Amino acid sequence: MVNEYPNLEENDGTPEQEFVLQAEPSMSALPSVFMYPRSSTHSSTLAQGGGLASPNSSVHPSSSGRKDFTVIKVSKRRWKVVLLFSCYSMCNHFQWIQYGSISNIFMNFYEVSPFAIDWLSMCYMLTYIFLLLPVAWLLEIFGLRTIALAGFALNCLGAWVKLGSLQPHLFAVTILGQVICSVAQVFILGMPSRIASVWSGPNEVSNACSIAVFGNQLGIAIGFFVPPILVPNIEDKNKLSHHIRHMFYLIGGFATLLFILVIIIFKEKPKYPPNRAQSLSYALASHDASYLSSIAWLFKNLNFILLVITYGLNAGAFYALSTLLNRMAILHYLGEEVNAGRIGLTIIISGMLGAVISGIWLDRLKTYKETVLVVYIMTLVGMVVYTMTLNLGHLWIVFITAGTMGFFMTGHLPLGFEFAVELTYPESEGMSSGLLNMSAQVFGIIFTISQGQIISNYGTMHGNIFLCVFLTLGTALIAFIKADLQRQRENKENPENELQEEEESNASKVPTTVSEEHL
């Protein structure tokens, strides 16, 4: 059995008491560690000498300096890491939507077609599809810190490259800067659930993941709100170039500051695992594990495959709406570029509220499938109402219906990440999140191109009905997912442990160690 003290935090630089696995004389320690049977692939890996093949090598620290993964403790640094990553994601996704939120202005400035401006957003999606698996492999090999440094550096570089595109004939330079930023976001999208699992206590994981995704949504919200204010719709291209320069300088400076901070603050992982599941994950880690076998195992998990499809349908619809929102709004409300951005801001802000509430809800009740299903149904309802009210001629109604839809549509994003980790534990969180995002990018490209063509030929209502059909399909597929919460099964404490913890915390709190004979 494991005694866990989730409220204790690391105190960097000072000696600490360590709380370790406690075994009863009548019990073997190893069966209590292997609480979840892994697939045959992982079993064979363990049989070859990885993971917990030897009690002395995995439970107790060895003379070679191997860490004692039986200590469960949360770090004070965890929220700094989560918030820094959130800011990084915010900066990158601001750059994703900064063109789409004022697409008509950039279309006139560079003298290109609406479809060309749409590709400044869709290049993010296309790049992710091709680079997901290589970056996920790099994440497994080099770890969180190296991948974060690479992503921050690329994000900073892309922001400064765009400063060389301030003339109408330099659209190619803008494409280059945007492609560099799109490569940076490949390093971002798969990391929220990984960071939450590695750094957060058992009752903080869903909330930490929500905060990490929160930065993504906040960046999109700022990307809807700020560009229409900084870059007004004026005919003089010299003055317009001046306004665009200010926007690019602001984002470049912020990206540079983040890159400096990540060098100072961002660490690979805490000194001790913060929860039982992560402790077991460290213990089971094997350098001989097959990367391709891990992917194959995920694709054999039917529940996960259904979640991948439903997540892609929802997120793809969100990407299409975000990219085309400016075009749809000014078709019905001519000259309202600023309000079009505010509508997008309303969608994202309400979605961030939904994400935070969902994270708190999951941390308390662990009702993953039920929560995802309810949120998906309400997303569909919100999309239908938004479609019916967009052309009524009253902006205040659009703000209300768009905000309601956004509360559920973007609030669904962190739910999908956490549900995927539950269904695929103990596989890599980066891999499961990466496959979810790949699905989102594929459907995002399909929906953006298709809806854009439908809007051009038939109008905005037909384009939005197109998305409603696929959201209906996603709602139906969720009903077939079996909620096999494997990570929760690993973290769950039985009543005996809870009572023992309480008694020990009221006593002298002297740690109990396990003798070599007991193991």
Mean pLDDT value across the chain: 74
Do 158 and 83 lie in one domain? The reply is: yes
Q: Which of 237, 271, 305 is the last residue of a domain?
A: 271
Do 389 and 465 lie in one domain? The reply is: yes
Residue found by looking up tokens 């089971």 in the block: 284
Give the mean model confidence (pLDDT) for residues 189-217.
70
Do 388 and 475 lie in one domain? The reply is: yes
Q: What is the DSSP letter of 101?
A: G
Give the mean model confidence (pLDDT) for residues 246-254.
92
Q: Is the dihedral of CA 309, 314, 319, 321 positive or negative?
A: positive
Among 85-89, 178-182, 391-395, 409-413, the minimum mean pLDDT is found in 409-413
Q: What pLDDT shows up at residue 11?
A: 47
The enclosing domain of 400 has a CATH number of: 1.20.1250.20
Range of the domain at 326: 293-487
Q: Is 23 among the domain residues?
A: no
Alpha helices in 391-428 (DSSP H): 395-409, 412-424
Strand partners, 75: 10
Q: Is the dihedral of CA 435, 437, 443, 446 positive or negative?
A: negative
Do 263 and 297 lie in one domain? The reply is: no
Q: What pLDDT shows up at residue 161?
A: 94
Q: Is 135 among the domain residues?
A: yes
CA distances from 401 to 102, 229, 339, 374, 395 (A): 22, 23, 14, 18, 10
Residue 502 burial (10 A CB sphere; 0-12, 13-18, 19+): exposed
Closest CA to 154 of 122, 131, 129: 131
pLDDT cut 90: percent of the chain above it: 18
Q: What pLDDT shows up at residue 500?
A: 38
Q: What pLDDT shows up at residue 174?
A: 93
Residue scoring higher pLDDT (518 or 326): 326
Band (pLDDT 50/70/90 cuts) for residue 141 is confident
> Do residues 326 and 102 lie in contact, with contact meaning Cβ atoms separated by under 8 Å?
yes
Do 240 and 325 lie in one domain? The reply is: no
Q: Rounded to two decimals, what is the model's pTM? A: 0.66
Do 192 and 264 lie in one domain? The reply is: yes
Q: What pLDDT shows up at residue 431?
A: 73
Q: Is 388 among the domain residues?
A: yes
Do 230 and 375 lie in one domain? The reply is: no
Give the mean model confidence (pLDDT) for residues 373-392.
90
Do 122 and 201 lie in one domain? The reply is: yes
Q: Is 55 among the domain residues?
A: no
Residue scoring higher pLDDT (180 or 420): 180
Q: What pLDDT shows up at residue 495?
A: 42
Q: Is 47 among the domain residues?
A: no
pLDDT in tens, 14-66: 333 343 444 343 333 333 333 333 333 343 333 333 333 333 333 344 334 44
3-state secondary structure at position 10: strand
**At residue 75, what are phi and psi to the nearest 5 degrees?**
-100, 145
3-state secondary structure at position 74: strand
Do 318 and 184 lie in one domain? The reply is: no
> What is the rounded CA–CA span in Å between residue 477 and residue 309?
8
Helical (H) or strand (E) element with 496: helix 495-506
Residue found by looking up tokens 């020990």 in the block: 504
Q: Is 478 among the domain residues?
A: yes
Residue scoring higher pLDDT (273 or 256): 256
Do 251 and 305 lie in one domain? The reply is: no
pLDDT in tens, 405-426: 988 887 777 778 778 878 887 7
Residue scoring higher pLDDT (499 or 440): 440
Domain count, the chain: 2
Q: What is the DSSP letter of 382?
A: H
Residue scoring higher pLDDT (507 or 361): 361
> What is the rounded CA–CA span in Å between residue 169 and residue 162?
13
Q: Is residue 98's pLDDT more than 70? A: yes
Band (pLDDT 50/70/90 cuts) for residue 488 is low
DSSP 128-166: HHHHHHHHHHHHHHHHHHHHHHHHHHHHHHHHHHGGG--
Q: Is 245 among the domain residues?
A: yes
Give the mean model confidence (pLDDT) for residues 305-332.
89
Opening angle at CA 407, ends 379 and 397, nearest 5: 90
Q: Is residue 487's pLDDT more than 90? A: no
pLDDT in tens, 436-477: 888 888 999 999 999 988 998 888 899 899 999 999 999 999
The verdict on whether omega for the bond into residue 270 sits within 30 degrees of 0, i.e. cis, is no
pLDDT in tens, 284-315: 554 444 556 777 777 888 888 998 999 999 99
Q: What pLDDT shows up at residue 288?
A: 43
Q: Which of 100-114, 360-374, 478-492 is modeled with the greatest confidence? A: 100-114
Q: Is residue 341's pLDDT more than 80? A: yes
> What is the rounded CA–CA span in Å between residue 399 and residue 406?
10
Among 8-12, 208-212, 406-410, the minimum mean pLDDT is found in 8-12
Rg (CA), the chain: 24
Q: Is 249 among the domain residues?
A: yes
> What is the rounded CA–CA span in Å between residue 324 and residue 438?
20
pLDDT cut 70: percent of the chain above it: 69
Q: What pLDDT shows up at residue 447?
A: 93
Q: What pLDDT shows up at residue 518?
A: 40
* Other beta carbons within 10 Å of 27: 11
Residue scoring higher pLDDT (69 or 310): 310
Do 234 and 357 lie in one domain? The reply is: no
Do 265 and 309 lie in one domain? The reply is: no
Give the mean model confidence (pLDDT) for residues 127-147.
81
